[in-house]
Amino acid sequence: MPPSKPAGQTASKPAPKSRPGPGRPTREQAQERNLELLDRALDLFLEKGFERTTIEGIASSVGMAKRTVYSLYGDKKSLFKASLERAINDWIVPIDVLRAAESDDLEKTLLKIGNILVDNMLTPEGLRLLRITNAEAYHLPEIGAYTYAMGTGPTLEYLAGLFTRRLKAQGMKRRQAQDAALAFLDLVVGGPASSTVWGVPMEDREIARHTRYCVRLFLRGLQGAGAG
């Protein structure tokens, strides 16, 4: 039992917890609103292009005061970069996921990895990112650099390491492994994504057939390329 209090002494009441004032969002609500802002901003940048999209239009689309958007991001370019970076971070395939697809059979390993990367690229989020980076990277080159650093770069590094490990006995050098990694992404992943962005989407069965064919073609080319 808790100790008794001396006679005549009253228990002190705990200080009341502070609560958000009228109209003031909680931290969780503010974070949720910010994510909504970034997601909607990216949609509008894709729909209208960077130049034609305005802070006023973005703020209005999410029911947020223009001054609030400016206080969070300062200008349109910063908002664009923040919305794109958030989308990239949510979309990229973690290297651990690719590593978990490895098996003793290199062809089966590359087929699994190819399917993971193709499926990820063809999600609505992946296609949205591909379209907007293709459209805007020419006047915002740092966007292309960030996309490469966060997504393409680590994937290429992983693939190059995989080829170096698995084909070391065949004389695979690091430079050749890096070239092979880039060729793998271009051949296996690039085709279905480019076709879809150009308005000629492939059916699921055709994508699966294309991926199998390209993985086998890649491996045969790799074996015949030597260690040059």
pLDDT of 27-39, one tens digit each?
Answer: 888 888 999 999 9
How many C-beta neighbours within 10 Å does residue 196 have? Answer: 18
State the SS3 of 185-207. Answer: HHHHHHHHHHHHHCCCCCCHHHH
What's residue 194's pLDDT? 87
Indicate whether 85 and 96 sit together in one domain. Answer: no
How big is the CA angle at 43 (ends 37 and 46), to the nearest 5 degrees?
135
**Torsion sign over Cα 171, 175, 180, 181:** positive
What's the pTM? 0.77
What's residue 26's pLDDT? 85
**Residue 186 within a domain:** yes
Indicate whether 139 and 75 sit together in one domain. Answer: no
* 146's tokens: 């960030």
Indicate whether 104 and 166 sit together in one domain. Answer: yes
**Torsion sign over Cα 71, 74, 80, 81:** negative
- Residues of the domain holding 62: 27-89
How long, in residues, is the chain? 228
Residue 47 sits in a domain of what CATH number? 1.10.10.60
| Contact criterion met (CB below 8 Å) for 163 and 181 | yes
Indicate whether 97 and 71 sit together in one domain. Answer: no
pLDDT tens digits along 149-207: 888 899 999 999 999 999 887 888 889 999 999 999 999 998 898 888 888 989 999 99
What's residue 73's pLDDT? 94
**Residue 11 within a domain:** no
pLDDT tens digits along 43-82: 998 888 888 999 999 999 999 999 999 999 999 989 998 9
Check whether 136 has a pLDDT greater than 50.
yes
Q: What is the pLDDT of the chain when averaged over all its residues?
A: 85
How many C-beta neighbours within 10 Å does residue 69 have? Answer: 21
Indicate whether 148 and 198 sit together in one domain. Answer: yes
Question: End of a domain among 73, 89, 105?
Answer: 89
Indicate whether 140 and 218 sit together in one domain. Answer: yes
